[in-house]
């Protein structure tokens, strides 16, 4: 089960890389970042597919997109100077809270399913 969560977090990290590469590709006008975008995104989906063997699809997908959203948000502020105002930070905290809640509730559900 730990392996599935590891796969999910790798998929999320690759999703972040894909989003950053999408920005770097400038609408797919730059070849190298465009190629790496497809590699990162494709590999992200591979790891997501490995994760959903053990983690419920709804939980895995929500966490995967949440990791991508949070990572994309944070790196956009750091690398591209996007604004980091109170409302945006508050919404980011809500996303992170939701991700943690989904992970904890999925873990609890899996425990219940394995106990007779």
Using the predicted structure, report yes or no on whether residue 110 has a pLDDT greater than 70: no
48 Cβ contact partners less than 8 Å away, ≥ 6 residues apart: 7, 8, 11, 60, 61, 64
**Residues of the chain above pLDDT 90, percent:** 78
Question: Is pLDDT larger for residue 113 or for residue 70?
Answer: 70
Task: Provide the mean pLDDT of the chain.
Answer: 91
3-state secondary structure of 54: coil
Residue 112 scores a pLDDT above 70: no
Question: Phi and psi for 30 in degrees, rounded to 5?
Answer: -110, 125
pTM over 0.85, yes/no: no
- What would the two tokens of residue 62 be? 């929500």
Spell out the domain ranges in the chain.
2-114
Question: What Å distances lie between residue 108 and 80, 97, 101, 113, CA to CA?
Answer: 39, 16, 11, 9
CA dihedral 28, 30, 31, 36 (to 10 degrees): -70
Q: pLDDT by residue (tens digit) across 46-80? A: 999 999 999 999 999 999 999 999 999 999 999 99
């Amino acid at each position: 089960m730990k392996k599935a969560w590891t796969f999910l977090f790798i998929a999320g990290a690759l999703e972040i890389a894909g989003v950053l590469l999408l920005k770097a590709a400038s609408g797919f006008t730059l070849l190298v970042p465009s190629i790496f975008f497809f590699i990162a995104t494709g590999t992200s989906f591979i790891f997501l597919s490995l994760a959903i063997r053990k983690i419920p699809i709804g939980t895995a997908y929500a966490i995967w997109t949440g990791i991508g959203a949070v990572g994309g948000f944070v790196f956009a502020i750091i690398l591209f100077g996007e604004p980091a105002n109170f409302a945006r930070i508050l919404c980011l905290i809500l996303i992170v809270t939701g991700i943690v809640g989904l992970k904890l509730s999925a873990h609890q559900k899996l425990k219940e399913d394995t106990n007779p």
